[in-house]
Structure 1
Amino acid sequence: MHEVLGACPLDCPDGCSWVVTVDDDGEAINLKGNRAHPFTAGALCAKVNGYLEHTKAPDRLLYPLKRVGAKGEGRFERISWDEALTTIAAKLQYVKDTYGGEAIWPFQGTGTLGYVQGLEGRAGQRLWNVLGASRHDMTACSVAGRQGATYVTGTAAGMDPETFAESKLILLWGTNTLTSGHHLWKFILKARKRGAHIVAIDPIRTRTAAQADEHLAPLPGTDAALALGLLNVIVSMGAEDRDYLDSNTVGWPEFKERILAFPPSKAAEITGIDEATIVALGERIATTRPTGIRCTMGMQRHAGGGNAMRLLYALPGVTGDWQYPGGGASYSTSGRFMPDLVSTYRDDLLQQPVRTLSMTQLGHTLLRADDPPVKALVIYGANPMSSNPDQHRVREGLQREDLFTVVIEQFPTDTVDYADIVLPATMQTEHLDVNDGYGHMYIHLNRPATAPPGECLSGTETFRRLAKAMGLEEPSLYDDDETLARTLLGDADFERLYETGWMRLDYQTPYVPFTEGFPTPSGKLEFYSESARDAGHDPLPGYVAPVRAETDDAHPLALIAPASHWFLNSMFANKPDLMKKAGGPRIELHPDDARARGLQTGDTATVFNARGSFEAAVEISDRVRPGVIASTKGYWLKHIRGGANVNATVEERDADMAGGAIFHDNRVEVERVRVADDDPGRLGQAEPVVASR
């Protein structure tokens, strides 16, 4: 019996360090958090605690499959790897020869964030470069906010999250820490024990908001207006840090003018928060150093998401909080780890520039008359049929008979049902990878603990075999996983990580960013950004209102669908124990909204707009404010009544920056379809959507 060090690869800020116990027969028999890790400290989340059981699930894909039914039916027969690779190689070569390499779209998601196997390392990119395939733009998660923050500070990598323990005031802005990234909470509690005041800013009273000292519930998509109102209070008090502003920022006079034109009364009108509450919080920020802002991806998934993040990164520039441990803003730590990605991606293998296709425009792209059209789609680490906006259009695109679709997967997801060829993929305990976390300052090496089951292959090995089947001669296509990891890390760090499993990035403790200047064109924090101006944006951050189409008059409710406590995006939504804990799709409505529609707890309702609809059980609750309904994302369509989830109602539309997604800029209406105490559409008796405990 022995222990193998590894790390969670999933789309979560925490990127937990873990330890796998393997018996003498080579079977993994226990998984636990690594107690030696300074940030994750031995705790895994409710989703990952049962990961080993999940690797052995009866619905695990173990062999290559070929479609024998219509697209969407999910009927397949087992084939050999040779047949699968020969078929794929011939199809991709035909598409390349006939339409050009850009007719191939490698569609990669956040199923793993690894630098060898996953999104961070753009796994397979060397192959796609050799083929001249279209570039995939991963727009579903964080790009709008990342771009907005970058215009201000030159990077979205803000505070070291561990320094929240030093904060005197913590704003948890659009983030549900206890569900998505719970390891930060212990640093928040340290701050609270030292007298810190905790404020949650969220349209719904999440489990995190319920544990805060104060909760503000703005209308969805109005965060920028709230930020401007708070800044107005600070500036009106004369509480800006003038020395810091003079020495470390550019564009303050112009930005100050914009702030003074946005009084708290205006912010109150837009956000739906009492003016007195805005003033009180503004006064608290003005007089409390250091103030730390934790803001994550959910709050920037709307029309003005990029500008909202610009303002949250600008606010500590006004107060001077960026100069203190525990001060500033923390959207992500991505960018602190700087491996050799140039040598990993090998973009030099491209023979000519290629187009970029947006992940969140999948349905639109598959159905439009492009030149060339997308003729081959290779999907890995992604489940777009469940997770992408505008499900009706995505389904229509995936049903195209002239579209050759390969899905590399671990389980028979909704997307798998539309594949022509399905390839079985390894899980994290079965392959080598390099992982970090976008919510801490550590890097990990994940060593394989067990042999893959059945005929599962890692993504990297799949791409190596496909390159061979296509007769490609570029030597770098055949680098093994250890070579890829050493390319990323260098030999010395690889050897160190192989023994220790993790190490802190080379930053002092406590780490305060930007003490030596900002990585912006001016070297200072930029309230006025010429880069933003040159990209066609307002050079100053401001409020961009949620989009209201004329048809939204008939759909007056704002739908928010954050992460489930039991699923991670659509991962684990097929795991029986977590399905039971999650229950089926539900919506929470304020009593006023429910009363106006004749709805009661236990009813089943249709949530709809012009794009589509889904069914959900109703729960009446004051955890949501009037005009807002809350649900959760992640449900597989095949497991719920109606074959649609919340994304059936979400529009394929870009946010203000970088093509970001607008999942939370969504207007709907609700109607009762049945009254039932025992609703077969519910998967179990679960806690409320936004549980307050």
Structure 2
Amino acid sequence: MDNLLTNGVGRRTFLKGLGITFLAPVIPEVMAMPINKPPYKYLFDYSELKSARSSCAMECLHCNLTAYTYKGELIKVEASKDFNVKACMRGLSRTKWVNHKERLTTPLLRTGEKGSGEFKAISWDEALNLMEQNIRKTIAEDGNKGLMFVGFTGNMDAVKNDMGRAFFDYLGGCTRRSGSICCGAAYGAIPPITGIRFTDTRDTIADSKYLLCWGNNPAVTLHAYWKDFIAAQKNGARIVVIDPRFSETAAKADEWIPITPGTDSALALGMMRVIIEEGLTDIPFLKNHTGAIYLVGADGDLARYVDPNLAATSSESSCCGGKTELSNTNYLVYDLNSQSYVAQNTPGINPALFQSELPADSPYTTVFEKVRQECEQWTLAKTSEVTSIPQHTIARLARDFGTVQPAMIIFNMSGAQRTENGAHVVATQHYLALLTGNMGKRGAGILDAGGATQMVKFGPLVPPAPNKQKIATIPMARIGQAIIDEDPHKISFLYSMAFAPLNQLPNTNKVKEAFKKVPFVVVADNLMTDSAKWADLVLPVTTIFEDVSLMAGPRSHYVQLMEKAVDAPGQAKPDYWIFARLAERFGFGEVFNQPIEHYINNLLAGTGITLEQLKKGPVKPANFPWVPFDGGKFNTPTGRANFFLEAWKAKGHPAIATHVPVIESSTGNPELAKKYPLMSVQRKLARTVHTSHGINEWVNQVQRNVPNIMIHPDDAAARGIKSGDRITAFNDRGEHTAIADVSSFMMRGVVSLENGWWERQGGTSSTVTSDFVEPIGHGQACNSTLVEVRLAKV
């Protein structure tokens, strides 16, 4: 080994020699080795190193990183030793991101056509002048609604995106996105059920006896916690994967169950029917901790209890089934002890759950009965026909989930909810956990994105804006078409930060057309991304280790101070510096131009966490292990989890989650399927987080840097395709060319496209994905997309 280090070795050769082909954390010294040179420890005295800590701030797990600098240069990044998880290859390769040869160092003004990448350097004063002029012009001609701000997950610290939103609020408001291309369906489904969006069960994965990875690939997307999956498996837990693709997780699992894309809610309902019919429900949990006991009136609404002593002075004339506002959570139940209708929070009652327990002449139906009725049609035969899963597998899956305790569904913003019916998928998965009592205890629950925000309430970054207008939003999944159609209104100024709209938004060609249409587009980034090439003005911004900030969000369980280690290259500035300078020009600079420590202290106010504590290292804001809804106490007004979703019904959706067939599918649109017979699904890769790290030198040395399309051998043979061929997936939206990966690890009739590729590497697969807006949470439907595949044109 000493000889190897002395003689030097290429990083790629060394990593391949170690067998590193995945995201497993790698030896920090390896990631600090310059190609064909000995490690730094042979070149200088370690006593001259300085260190700083930060968080890997993309939409990932926000691992804590320690940076080492030498004479003002970042030379090494390693996983912080006192953190609960270890950083992966991407985090350790941050050295090459900070020092990237293509870093933006000065503001750039477009000189050629949009998309040409032709720019000239300008000063910050010129850039700020241009933004001020175009903002004022837009407000004068179109009103504040003509402004649009889009900040997203390229940097999820607690300051930068929120500072951008606050700035536009202080201007009087702007057009924002609604929903999310990440997990809009989850936003639509989870809060009405549990009362809170972001919760996770990561701390007790190892305690589970049944891990159902549903439309999710945690070996890649929860890589830092994969050790806990392995620990659970060693302790006797089964890992089961439901996915059209035999994923990296499936390779380590006990069972792989391929499923037709877009039919996951049908599977959940079929499983629920088996669980209910075979008496596998947790009756005490349902009675004590859920709204399954609430009563539904003949009008289809939840009935409320009205105190007869108050009824005489109101329009109500009965204690039963009062028509009151939705904010009234005094839900009506039937008490088996007193044989009477009472409020759900009446002490000492035994509420009826089953319809058979109600009086024969009762005008009500229990919510549990409504759920049972919804499942009734989903026989094993029908569920199998729709999902392509054998009947015996569905029955066994249901029985296992209903009897093996504790059981956990690995959701984590799954691909299953990036479908036309995604909110129903999320809701029915929660129904399964609730029916079996698999929530509020160790080893159980729904493993979703979570973090410090579920444990403690953080303060506002700045005071609320005094004159913010209410402006109609644009669904994120359809930003391109909406801007083109001026629906709901014209956009004349667009500011994009921490986001790659030209790679990540569905229907890329429409997004490009939208960028052309908007008179003035600003993109703030630290590299010349594909989206930056379509901007009018590009602003160079810092990345981690180049400014001070705070990580306190919905991913890591720790609150982390993000320290500065090195100066940014050239004139690159923190995003919050840009908004401070703009705010000064619009007369509210004092709100935005305070020292960064001021804003960090604002966020920490009331949490019990201090900046001085954070300077010593990351802080856990709650007791560990963290168990969401511990003891069955949910975040709803009643403390109970809901099956009957009044928020859905109020907007014209079914109150009980169901299966809504996908329109863009072979069964939903047979005519379209004649042209484009293959379903396509999107896959996340170990090499990037969305587009982040896409052109990172070290990542490209140890991972392939061309996109693949996975296709089943039967589908490939019918098209004359062999592994290694250049092939093109296409539909009416566009086309995406990649290398064929012909494999039985892909379900017949389905192809897998890969997320996160830059145009220089072959282009984004989003050129073909559907921009259908999931109707409940305004999620995206990239996994409800039909394509055809052919050999690429020479």
Q: TM-score over 0.5 for the alignment?
A: yes
Q: 1:130–1:349: 8 Å Cα contact kept in structure 2?
A: no
Alignment pair present for 1:654 and 2:702: no
Quote the offset at 1:62 in angstroms: 0.8
Q: Name the counterpart of 1:93.
A: 136
Q: Which residue does 2:685 correspond to in 1? A: 564
Partner of 1:614: 736
Letter in 1 for 2:768: T
Structure 1 unmatched runs, 5+:
676-693
The answer as to 2:721 corresponding to 1:599 is: yes
Q: Tell me, in whole angstroms, the C-alpha distance in 1 between the residues paired with 2:62 and 2:501.
A: 23
Question: What is the DSSP-based 3-state SS (H/G/I as helix, E as strand, rest coil) of the residue aligned with 1:623?
Answer: coil
**For residue 33 of structure 2, what is the aligned residue in structure 1?**
none
Number of residue pairs aligned between Structure 1 and Structure 2: 662
SS at match of 1:607: strand
Alpha-carbon distance change, 32 to 660 in structure 1, aligned in 2, over 3 angstroms: same
Give the gaps of 5 or more residues in structure 2.
1-48, 292-366
Deviation at 1:264, TM superposition (A): 2.3
Counterpart of 2:592? Answer: 477
Q: Which residue of 2 aligns with 1:20?
A: 67
1:132 paired residue number: 173
Deviation (angstroms), 1:221: 1.4
In 2, Cα distance between equivalents of 1:574 and 1:218: 34
Aligned to 1:241: 282
How much does 1:371 deviate? 6.6
Q: Deviations over 1:82-102 (max 9, x none)?
A: 111111111111111221111
2:117 aligned counterpart, secondary structure = coil
Q: Residues 439 and 380 from structure 1, CA distance in 2 versus in 1: closer, same or farther, beyond 3 angstroms?
A: closer
Instruction: Give the CA deviation at 1:624.
Output: 0.4
| 1:665 to partner: Cα distance | 0.9
Matched with 1:35 is 81
Tell me the equivalent position of 1:8: 56
Counterpart residue identity of residue 32, structure 1: E
Say whether residues 1:285 and 2:386 are aligned partners. Answer: no
| Aligned-residue offset at 1:205 | 0.9
1:169 paired to 2:210 = yes
Matches within 5 A, 1:69-80: 69-80=112-123
Answer yes or no: is the 8 Å Cα contact 1:138–1:359 preserved in 2: yes
**1:107, 1:359 within 8 Å by CA — same for their partners in 2?**
no
Structure 1 position 332, deviation (Å) = 2.0
The SS at the match of 1:399 is: helix
Counterpart contact for 1:302–1:664, Cα < 8 Å: yes
Classify 1:146/1:372 alpha carbon distance in 2 versus 1 (closer, same or farther; 3 Å): closer
Q: Which residue of 1 aligns with 2:435?
A: 318
Residue 633 of structure 1 is matched in structure 2 by: 755
Cα pair 1:127 1:477 within 8 Å, conserved: no
Normalised TM-score (structure 2): 0.80
1:511 to 611, 627, 636: 627
1:25-63: CA deviation from partner (whole Å, max 9, x where unpaired): 23222211112112x1xx222222211111111111011
Partner of 1:540, secondary structure, is coil
Equivalent residues in 2 for 1:27-66 (5 A)?
A: 27-38=73-84, 40=85, 43-66=86-109
Measure the CA separation in 2 of the matches of 1:213 and 1:193: 12
Q: Which one is further off, 353-362 or 225-234?
A: 353-362
CA distance 1:483–1:136, shift in 2 (3 Å): farther
Superposition deviation, residue 11 in structure 1 = 0.6
Once the two structures are TM-superposed, the CA of residue 318 in structure 1 deviates from its matched residue by 0.5
Checking the alignment, whether the CA contact within 8 Å between 1:126 and 1:346 is kept in structure 2 is no
What TM-score, normalized to structure 1?
0.92
Correspondence for 2:746? 624
Cα offset for 1:163?
0.7
Equivalent pair of 1:116/1:432 in contact (CA under 8 Å):
no
Q: Residue 606 of structure 1 contacts residue 613 of structure 1 at CA under 8 Å; is this kept in 2?
A: yes
* Higher alpha-carbon deviation: 145-154 or 300-309: 145-154
Amino acid at match of 1:235: I
**1:550-590, Cα deviation, whole Å (9 max, x unpaired):** 42332111111221211111112222343452331221111
Deviations 1:272-327 (A, max 9, x none): 11111111111111211100111122221001111111111121111111142111
Give the superposition deviation at 1:160.
Answer: 2.8
Whole-Å separation in 2 of the counterparts to 1:82 and 1:674: 47
Deviation per CA, 1:355-389: give whole Å up to 9, x if none. Answer: 22233222112211357410011111111111111
Task: Assess if the C-alpha contact under 8 Å between 1:135 and 1:356 holds in 2.
Answer: yes
- AA aligned opposite 2:601: R
User: Shift in Å at residue 458 of structure 1?
Assistant: 0.3
- AA aligned to 2:780 is A
Q: Please give the alpha-carbon distance, in whole angstroms, between the structure 1 residues aligned to 2:238 and 2:601.
A: 44
Displacement, 1:523?
2.7
Q: Counterparts of 1:177-188 in structure 2 under 5 Å? A: 177-188=218-229
Residue of 189, 199, 206 corresponding to 2:247 = 206
Q: How far apart are the structure 2 equivalents of 1:355 and 1:129?
A: 17
Matched, 1:551 2:672: yes
CA offsets, 1:488-538, max 9 Å, x none?
112852324432331222245352525262222443111112222112221
CA contact (8 A) 1:140 1:359 kept: yes
Distance 1:262 1:214 in 2: 23
Structure 2 counterparts to residues 321-332 of structure 1, below 5 A: 321-332=438-449
Q: Over the residues paired in the alignment, what is the CA RMSD in angstroms?
A: 2.0
Segments of 4+ moved more than 4 angstroms: none
User: Residue type of the partner of 1:571?
Assistant: S
Among 690, 695, 700, the residue aligned to 1:574: 695
Q: In the alignment, which residue of structure 2 is the partner of 1:665? A: 784
Equivalent position amino acid for 1:180 in 2: T
Alignment correspondent of 2:357: none
Q: Percent identity?
A: 26
The equivalences for 1:232-631 within 5 A come to: 232-250=273-291, 251-297=367-413, 298-333=415-450, 335-341=453-459, 343-344=460-461, 346-370=463-487, 372-400=489-517, 403-436=519-552, 438-468=554-584, 470-473=585-588, 475-490=590-605, 493-515=609-631, 517-548=633-664, 549=669, 550-579=671-700, 581-631=703-753
CA deviation string 1:105-155 (max 9, x = no partner): 11212110111123xx36442344324222333511112113212222122
Distance 1:280 1:383 in 2: 43
Mapped to 1, the partners of 2:653 and 2:113 lie a distance apart of 45
* Cα distance change of structure 1 residues 88 and 158 upon mapping to structure 2, 3 Å threshold: closer
The more displaced of 540-549 and 612-621 is 540-549
Distance 1:474 1:76 in 2: 30
The 3-state SS of whatever aligns with 1:355 is coil
**How much does 1:638 deviate?**
3.6
**In 2, Cα distance between equivalents of 1:70 and 1:501:** 48
Residue identity in the other structure for 1:456 = A
Supply the distance in 1 between the matched residues of 2:550 and 2:717 (Cα, whole angstroms): 52
Inter-partner Cα distance in structure 1 for 2:754 and 2:557: 29
Q: Give the AA of the match of 1:68.
A: T
For residue 460 of structure 1, report the CA deviation from its aligned partner: 0.2
Give the structure 1 partner of residue 32 of structure 2: none
Change (3 A) 1:321 1:208: same
Write the letter of the residue equivalent to 2:78. K
Q: What is the rounded CA distance, in whole Å, between the counterparts of 2:124 and 2:657 in structure 1?
A: 53
Cα deviations across residues 178-206 of structure 1 (Å, max 9, x unaligned)? Answer: 21121221111221121111111111111
Question: Residue 686 of structure 1 aligns with which residue?
Answer: none
Shift in Å at residue 440 of structure 1?
4.5
CA distance in 2: counterparts of 1:496 and 1:285, whole angstroms: 46
Equivalent residue, structure 2, for 1:685: none
